[in-house]
């Protein structure tokens, strides 16, 4: 079942419980007030958590999302709740990272979007996952995601 998507900010200014799963989460979007300007918006989730679908053990990642908005911006509270909904969701690192990127791309139709999932080691091996859609518009500065190769991230 796809993540529900809404136009407008229905979660702001009120209590909202953490959704039990990504399928129950609602991603919202709001109009971009600067559609005439190309710029990069970045969201960072340094304490992202999901569950291993095989062992049920927690997996942890540092997720960085960069995008060049078109007509829409992601509403940040809905994104925070959506990301938190993975806490009890069993999926592999690749699935979580790519799913988040695809859900945001479907919601926002951005000019460009990239997501980096920098996963902490499980079984002694970190797994980093990257996904991108579109091409970075000419003249737009997209800084490095700033997460160093694994050496005991922190």
Name the residues annotated as catalytic.
52, 59
> Taking each helix axis from N to C terminus, what angle separates 76-84 and 93-108, rounded to the nearest 10 degrees?
160
Task: Please tell me what DSSP assigns to residue 137.
Answer: P
CA distance 35 to 48: 30
CA distance 134 to 117: 18
Is the Cα torsion angle 41, 105, 83, 55 positive or negative in sign? negative
CA distance 116 to 44: 10
């Amino acid at each position: 079942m796809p993540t529900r998507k809404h136009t407008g900010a229905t979660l702001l200014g009120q209590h909202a419980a953490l959704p039990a799963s990504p399928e129950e989460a609602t991603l919202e979007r709001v109009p971009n007030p600067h559609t005439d300007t190309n710029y990069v918006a970045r969201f960072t989730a340094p304490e992202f958590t999901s569950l291993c679908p095989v062992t049920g053990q927690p997996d942890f990642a540092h997720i960085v999302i960069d995008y060049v908005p078109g007509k829409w911006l992601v509403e940040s509270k809905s994104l925070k709740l959506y990301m938190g909904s993975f806490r009890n969701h069993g999926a592999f690192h690749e699935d979580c990272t790519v799913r988040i990127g695809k859900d945001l791309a479907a919601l926002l139709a951005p000019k460009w979007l990239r997501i980096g999932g920098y996963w902490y080691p499980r079984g002694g091996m970190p797994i980093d996952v990257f996904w991108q859609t579109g091409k970075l518009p000419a003249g737009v500065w997209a800084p490095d995601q700033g997460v160093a190769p694994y050496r005991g991230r922190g």
